[in-house]
Amino acid sequence: MAEPLLSFERVPMSWTDERVELLKKMWSEGQSASQIAKELGGVTRNAVIGKVHRLGLSNRSGGTSQAAAKPEAKAKPEPKAKAAPAETKPAPKPEPRTEPARPAAAESRPATPARKPIVPAGQPLPPQPSANEISPEALAKVHEVEKKARKLTLMELTERTCKWPVGDPATEDFWFCGLPAQPGKPYCEAHVGVAFQPMSARRDRRR
DNA sequence: CCCTGATTCGC
DNA sequence: GCGAATCAGG
């Protein structure tokens, strides 16, 4: 037992079969390159994107719905000093674009029973604002904030956006707060207030 | 500013 | 093949 365990050091970390699989899976699920990169670890989002393109799955059409064509980024970098052979684009682009399918908001987590609702990623799930023992002021603030909410979709959430869900995931009237999240917290200031109740505030608020 | 993906090109 | 640098857009 000479070699104990390979310490997780700066090892190249190549694209093993498993890693590629995970990459494909996440990419197909619509995960962003940065998220995939973080999940994989040891690679940057650039690496992920590079690999994605090399694999030939630049488009997220390979699995569930084909509804994943987002008109984002056209890319046309050629201002680089390079003797590139005139490569114009005389060929048209017949894109059999069907109607924009509904981006099923309730679908993305593999670790989910996949049934109806779906909740954001990681982090402690917040208790839905119901009959809770929360400071009336905090609740009021939440309500106030919800008006200013950016109403982001699941895909638009980042680590710096408030991930507080509002509404019923089963309906169209569902979105995430999206306001600037507190550093190190998954929610904005207002929602942190109701998400993380101090022990002292809970007490035995028996009815 | 934050984020996203796309592409190029040296390694 | 790989991915940092860069580009381009939201």
What secondary structure does DSSP assign to chain A, as a single string?
Answer: ---------S------HHHHHHHHHHHHTT--HHHHHHHH-S--HHHHHHHHHHHT--SS-SSS-S-------------SS---------S-------------SS---TTS--SS----SSSPPPPPSSS----HHHHHHHHHHHHH---B-GGG--TTB---EEE-TTSSSEEE--SBPPTTSSS-HHHHHHHS--HHHHTT---
Distance, angstroms, CA A80 to C1' C6? Answer: 9
Q: What is the mean pLDDT of residues A100-116?
A: 40
Half-sphere exposure of residue A184, counting CA atoms within 13 Å on the CB side? 0
Rg (CA), chain A: 22
Beta bridge partners of residue A166, listed in sequence order: A175
Distance, angstroms, CA A202 to C1' B3? Answer: 37
Of A49-63, A114-128, A163-177, minimum mean pLDDT range = A114-128
What is the distance between the alpha carbons of residues A174 and A166, in angstroms, rounded to a whole number?
6
Confidence band of A46 (pLDDT split at 50, 70, 90) = very high
Summarised one tens digit per residue, pLDDT across range A118-170 is: 555 544 555 555 455 667 777 777 787 777 787 787 777 777 888 888 888 78
Distance, angstroms, CA A15 to C1' C1? Answer: 10
Nucleotides of C under 7 A from a protein CB: 1-10
Q: What is the mean pLDDT of residues A179-188?
A: 79
Distance, angstroms, CA A162 to C1' B2? Answer: 13
| pLDDT above 90 (res A47) | yes
Nucleotides of B under 7 A from a protein CB: 2-9
Confidence band of A103 (pLDDT split at 50, 70, 90) = very low
Distance, angstroms, CA A145 to C1' B2? Answer: 20
Residue spans of the domains in chain A: they are: 17-55, 136-205
Distance, angstroms, CA A74 to C1' C9? Answer: 7
Q: Which residue is nearest to nucleotide C5 (CA to C1')?
A: A46
What is the distance between the alpha carbons of residues A102 and A65, in angstroms, rounded to a whole number?
10
**Residue A96 pLDDT:** 41
Of A2-6, A46-50, A103-107, A119-123, minimum mean pLDDT range = A103-107
**Residue A87 pLDDT:** 41
Summarised one tens digit per residue, pLDDT across range A83-93 is: 444 444 344 44
Strand B contact set, beta carbon < 7 A:
A 31-35, 45-46, 49-50, 52-53, 58-59, 72-73, 75-78, 80, 82, 84, 158-160
